[in-house]
Every structure is written in structure tokens, then in C-alpha cells.
Amino acid sequence: MNILDAIVNANSGAAVQQLGSQVGLAPDQATAALSALMPALAGGFQRNIQSPGGVESLIAALSSGSHGQYLDDPTTLADSTAVTDGNGILGHLLGSKDASRDVASRAAQQTGLSADVLKRLLPLAATLMMGAFAKQAGTGVSTTAALGGAGDIAAMLTPFLDQNHDGSMIDDVTSMIGGFMKRP
């Protein structure tokens, strides 16, 4: 299951419904928005875990956060802490507000939705992505995973990022980044 499927199917689609209702989108529009935003987020996630200290940072975030709550109880997305959490995640994944604006702008071109709406959705999409990763990790990341490093983390995350189901997420993330970041 890829990351988008994990989010869309969680809790019978309740997170997508909550997300849409917060910004005035129908569930299918919210799903389209997530679909347009996820490649950039997944690519940032992949870059982040491959950077020095990235695996440790991920382990710390998955161990200490309560990100799974956003999928378990989607009404928590309406709380201001969800946006705060999401903006923190975006800072790690995309690096700057300009990059976030660019992601939202490109997603707007893909979906026909307002860039302003997509800017509001972006931090919430990031919280949902971390929630899905936290759910995949279970009740936390074990010391064994921490000691195993990037290989174990990549093995845990491959089902989310491997869209063509060839056993490798690298080609999929590279393709997502390339397609998403092409300049018009």
C-alpha cells in the first residue's frame, strides 16, 4: 500500500472527509489535492532520511510524536496543533516556505484547485503522512530499527513509497520528484 492509499483508506476515509470539510472541498477534491501534494512530500521525506542524521531524526519523531492520532481521530486535524506539527514536518521535508509555496502552486496547476487552499492543506497533508508512517511503525520504532539504520527504515517505508511494486522505492521517489519539479 502506498502512502496516499494509507491516508485515503484510514478510518474509512474519515481523514480525507475532515481535511476537505476544513477547507470547503468535497472528499474527491481533497483526495485529488493529497494526490498532487504527496509526491513532493514523499520525495522530501526520502531526501531527509538519506541525509546525515536523517534516520535518527525520523526515529526520534516517530518515537516521541503522537502522529497516528491524526488518522485515528481525524477531528484532531481541526486543532491548531495539527498545523503547527505539519509546519514543523514541512520545515524538515521541504526546507523553506518558498519551497512549500512552490509545491502548493504546482499542485494547484495539476488539480485546478486554488493555490491558497492547497497552501492551507499542505501542513495537514504532512501531518497525515507522518501519521501514516507512525501507524506503519506500530507503537514505535524499536532499538533494533535504530541500530539497523537507513536499511531497516527504508524496508519499513518501502510499501508506502513503492508505487510500482518492484520492491524499490528509490525509482518511484526519483520519478515523483522529477515529474513534480519540472518547470513548465
pLDDT for the residue 165? 62
pLDDT for the residue 126? 92
When the pLDDT of each residue in the chain is averaged and rounded to a whole number, the result is 77
pLDDT for the residue 174? 47
* DSSP structural state of residue 10: G
CA dihedral 18, 20, 24, 27 (to 10 degrees): -120
Q: How many residues does the chain have?
A: 184
Phi, psi of 121 (to 5 degrees): -80, -30
pLDDT for the residue 169? 56
Using CA atoms, how far apart are residues 120 and 110, in angstroms rounded to an integer?
A: 16
Using CA atoms, how far apart are residues 67 and 126, in angstroms rounded to an integer?
A: 10
pLDDT for the residue 139? 40
More confident of the two residues 84 and 175: 84
